Chain A
Amino acid sequence: KAGVTQTPRYLIKTRGQQVTLSCSPISGHRSVSWYQQTPGQGLQFLFEYFSETQRNKGNFPGRFSGRQFSNSRSEMNVSTLELGDSALYLCASSLRTASYQETQYFGPGTRLLVL
């Protein structure tokens, strides 16, 4: 079974621009979460989507947004990019079919550099 895929893998943008990242979850997985990883802050939760609805949201400004499509694929968007948005953006998917919490499986990430 194919793992979580993310596109693009690398991206260079300038301040003020916006960017859209894409994530395809493992087949059958219905939950997609996004995380930001930086050397200074580590791995931080952005948001989680399940059944096309945002279920959980981390402490990030409104410039960070996302959505999920009916096939469970997800996109996240960052508007008005700032230098501090340079990071590795990770997507993770989970089955989310049981009443208990399940493992999240991560993709390779999108490395975003803001100049």
Chain B
Amino acid sequence: GESVGLHLPTLSVQEGDNSIINCAYSNSASDYFIWYKQESGKGPQFIIDIRSNMDKRQGQRVTVLLNKTVKHLSLQIAATQPGDSAVYFCADYSGAGSYQLTFGKGTKLSVIP
């Protein structure tokens, strides 16, 4: 079964606001997490990753937070733009040394102009 799941299937935000997409995982042995963005008709696009020895990592307009205590991670998008409209997935590897990514169901982000 899945070890990664998402709390909300859809999220609508106003352009310019910040977006927060949440993800829960169940495998306490997971130590590498990846966020992907998938636009309609395209493959998943890497956004940002984080390893379990970190609790926060920042990229360009995106921040990932990892809370290992409650097995939760989130993706924050600052100043959300129409181009951010997509489905966002969190994913992790199913175990040490595994290259099998387990994906959550995804959250569809809609940006309201």
**Partner-A contacts on B (CB < 8 A):** 31-32, 34, 36, 41-46, 49, 51, 89, 91, 93, 97-106
Judged by DSSP, the binding face of A is strand
Q: Are A101 and B93 in contact (CB under 8 A)?
A: yes
Kindly identify, within residues 3 to 34 of chain A, every residue whose CB is under 8 Å from any CB belonging to chain B: 4, 31, 33
B15 smallest CB distance to A (angstroms): 27
A45: B residues at CB distance < 8 A: 100-102
Q: Told that A50-B99, A103-B49 touch, could you supply 12 new A-B pairs with CB distance under 8 A? A: A42-B106, A43-B101, A45-B100, A56-B98, A56-B99, A90-B43, A94-B99, A104-B46, A106-B45, A108-B41, A108-B42, A109-B43
B13 smallest CB distance to A (angstroms): 23
| Distance in angstroms between the alpha carbons of A43 and B91 in the assembled complex | 10
**Partner-B contacts on A (CB < 8 A):** 4, 31, 33, 35, 42-45, 48, 50, 55-56, 58, 90, 92, 94, 96, 100-101, 103-109
A-B contacts, CB under 8 A, total: 59
B99: A residues at CB distance < 8 A: 31, 33, 48, 50, 55-56, 94, 96, 101, 104
A-B contact pairs, 19 of them (CB 8 A): A4-B43, A42-B103, A42-B106, A43-B44, A43-B91, A43-B103, A48-B100, A56-B100, A90-B44, A92-B101, A100-B32, A100-B51, A101-B31, A101-B97, A101-B99, A106-B44, A106-B46, A108-B41, A108-B42
Q: Are B98 and A43 in contact (CB under 8 A)?
A: no
| Distance in angstroms between the alpha carbons of A65 and B20 in the assembled complex | 38
A48: B residues at CB distance < 8 A: 99-100
Q: Are B32 and A43 in contact (CB under 8 A)?
A: no
| Distance in angstroms between the alpha carbons of A94 and B98 in the assembled complex | 12
Closest A residue by C-beta to B2: A42
Which of B32, B41, B44 lies in contact with A101, CB distance below 8 A? Answer: B32
| Distance in angstroms between the alpha carbons of A4 and B42 in the assembled complex | 12
A41 smallest CB distance to B (angstroms): 9
